[in-house]
A and B are shown apart, each in its own frame.
Chain A
Amino acid sequence: MRAMSAGFSLYGWLAGLGQGLLRWLLGWWTVLFTGAQVAVLAFSPSSYGPEARSAVLRHIWQAAGPGLPGFTTLMALFNVVLIRILVVTAFSYGLTQYALDAVVRVLVLELIPLIAALFVAVEYTIPGGSELYKLRRGGALEALRARGCEPLSHEVLPRVLAGMFAVLLLALLSCLISLLLAYVAVHGFTLAGLPSYNHAVGTIFNPVVSMIFSMKTLLFALAVALLPVANALRDIPHRGSRTSVELQGLVQMSVLMLVIEVASLIGNYY
């Protein structure tokens, strides 16, 4: 009798595990499927009619415009502090020739894309996802579909495109500002160090590193833009509230970004 109850509990545990795994797989499948649908829509010219184009442009401005000055200023300040620490440390150890290398690799290649992606996630895509979730719960998406408008192209695609665009724009602008600040920190306000600086940047950004950097930033942008939206489009069992959707989206996003970051590090340094 005792053995039977133990077997029953093991079965229940296994069943629960299997259900959890299935849910997990289903969740990622939803994300991937939504991503594929959005990609198809993004590359279809029919998605950019006058009305849809207007929606995309509006979302692009909403995602990147308001946060751009603040983020760029904050990142510039952060860059100045970090560059100063790296340069002074390198100088004190007599490793001046590696100072620029360390600054570019730490800031431009690793930190800035990550911070830009997190900023856009917190500032735009997670609130956007919760907004979409509320629309879906309120039946607005069904109403749209009933009127003959596909919600995926009217509500989802602009948000995903705008999120990706915002990550790419903020990351690129901050990288360029960081390169400029690194030059000033190492050489001062003079043009005399330009040839050696250009040569150092050229040596760091070899084709492999450039490709990995571009791919990583693009995947960050995709993860940040797609995950909250995809989570908003599905029902999560036992977690019906708005907060849980946002939190789950954030956790998923962090895990995915960690995986991307680790993959890029392996590609760059192994």
Chain B
Amino acid sequence: MTSTEPSAAPADAPDAVAQVARVPLRSLERRAVLLLLFMALLVGAAVLYLMWVRGAFEETQTLYLSADDSEGVVVGMDMSFSGFPIGRVSRIELADQGTVRIHVDVPVKSARWLRTSSVFTLEKGLVGAARLRAFSGILDDPPLPPGAERIVLRGDVSAEIPKMVADARDVLLNLNRLTGEESALYATLGEVQRFTQRLNSSQGGLMAAVTGNEADARRVSELLGQTTQLVRRLDAVAQRVDSVVQRADRQVLGQDGLMTDAQVAVRQLGALLQELRQSMVKVDAVLTEVQGVAANAREASTDLGALRADVESSLRKVDALITELNRKWPFAPRQQEVRLP
């Protein structure tokens, strides 16, 4: 055994080796096996921990975000909601339309913060990396379905700067043009200055300043005097019209006015109509009776035919009797005429 292990020879080995060599071999092997097991345990724990924190054991759903520029987006970056990371970019690709398609893996337990009305933004500040954020304004909306596709809004501060500078330059140019000697504003200000000078010159006052000469100013002041008189007259007319209206109001809407009479008349008309309705009811009853009478008359006229036949036969018999009597003398009348009852 020792012949095949020259390293264990104590003559030229270092002290540590010599010390180790004194420990029984079986014990050394056992400790080495323990170290190996410890190492395996550490490796297993580390791998499992990393897989766990990378979300390997978590159920996720995919969300597709489309943007027009992928600048600042990197695989592995977070998507945050209210400052908390709720998803991670897993892939970036170019879509068929030339837009950028960002795949975001959202753990199912975090997906409840995403709603159909959620808005997604990609913000890029002057300093620091870009940030992908989600905003859910209405949490009562239905949850975002797996595989949903949304447009991401960009908020790029650095991209805004050139535009802002160009706009600012335009504004400054416009300002220069406005305040230049040939500008309208300059001429207007000159006119205003001349106007105020005329105003302060105490020749004709404000009117002269407005009209430009004294004669016009005088005419304007006369016009103003006439206008005042006109207004005064109009005021009197208006007072008169007011009294007329008051009178008319009294006559129409007063205590003994037209409206009161009209109300009484309308009330009487209502009573009249009421009575008319009662009369009509009575007429209706009379008509019903008349109908009954007519029915009776129809029956009576049927009987009248039979009566007439009887009367006719009786008359014929009377006629025959009279004829018989006439033929017998002394009853033969000079005047052979029978009077019927």
For A165, the chain B residues whose CB sits under 8 A away are: 35-36, 39
A58 with B20: CB separation less than 8 A: yes
Given the known interface contacts A58-B32, A134-B12, A205-B54, the answer about A147 and B4 at a Cβ–Cβ threshold of 8 Å is yes
For A154, the chain B residues whose CB sits under 8 A away are: 4-5
B17 CB–A CB distance under 8 Å? yes
For B7, the chain A residues whose CB sits under 8 A away are: 131-132, 135, 155
For A66, the chain B residues whose CB sits under 8 A away are: 16, 20
For A176, the chain B residues whose CB sits under 8 A away are: 42, 45-46
B172 CB–A CB distance under 8 Å? no
B55 with A202: CB separation less than 8 A: yes
Kindly state the interface size class of chain B when it binds its partner.
35 or more
Chain B binder among A12-20, A167-175, A252-260: A167-175
CB of B15 to closest CB in A, whole Å: 10
B264 CB–A CB distance under 8 Å? no
Complex interface bits, A173-198 against B, C-beta within 8 A gives 1, otherwise 0 = 10110000000000000000000001
* Count of A-B residue pairs with CB < 8 Å: 99
Given the known interface contacts A149-B4, A165-B39, A172-B46, the answer about A65 and B32 at a Cβ–Cβ threshold of 8 Å is yes
Chain B binder among A38-46, A49-57, A78-86, A220-228: A49-57
CB of B4 to closest CB in A, whole Å: 5
CB of A20 to closest CB in B, whole Å: 32
User: Could you tell me which residues of chain B, from 12 to 48, have a CB within 8 Å of some CB in chain A?
Assistant: 12-14, 16-17, 20, 25, 28-29, 31-33, 35-36, 38-39, 42-43, 45-46
CA distance A89 to B52 in the complex (A): 30
CA distance A64 to B279 in the complex (A): 130
Kindly state the interface size class of chain A when it binds its partner.
35 or more
User: Which of A172, A201, A202 touches B43 (beta carbons < 8 Å)?
Assistant: A172
B3 CB–A CB distance under 8 Å? yes
For B20, the chain A residues whose CB sits under 8 A away are: 58, 61-62, 66
User: Which of A58, A64, A131, A147 touches B13 (beta carbons < 8 Å)?
Assistant: A131
Residues of A within 8 A of B (CB): 51, 54-58, 60-62, 64-66, 68, 127, 131-132, 134-135, 138, 140-141, 143-144, 147, 149, 154-155, 165, 168-169, 172-173, 175-176, 198-199, 201-203, 205-206, 210
Closest 6 CB pairs of A and B: A202-B53, A57-B32, A61-B32, A140-B6, A57-B29, A198-B53
17 contacts across the A-B interface (CB closer than 8 A): A56-B32, A61-B29, A62-B16, A62-B17, A127-B16, A135-B7, A154-B4, A165-B35, A169-B42, A172-B39, A172-B46, A173-B42, A176-B45, A198-B53, A201-B50, A202-B54, A206-B76
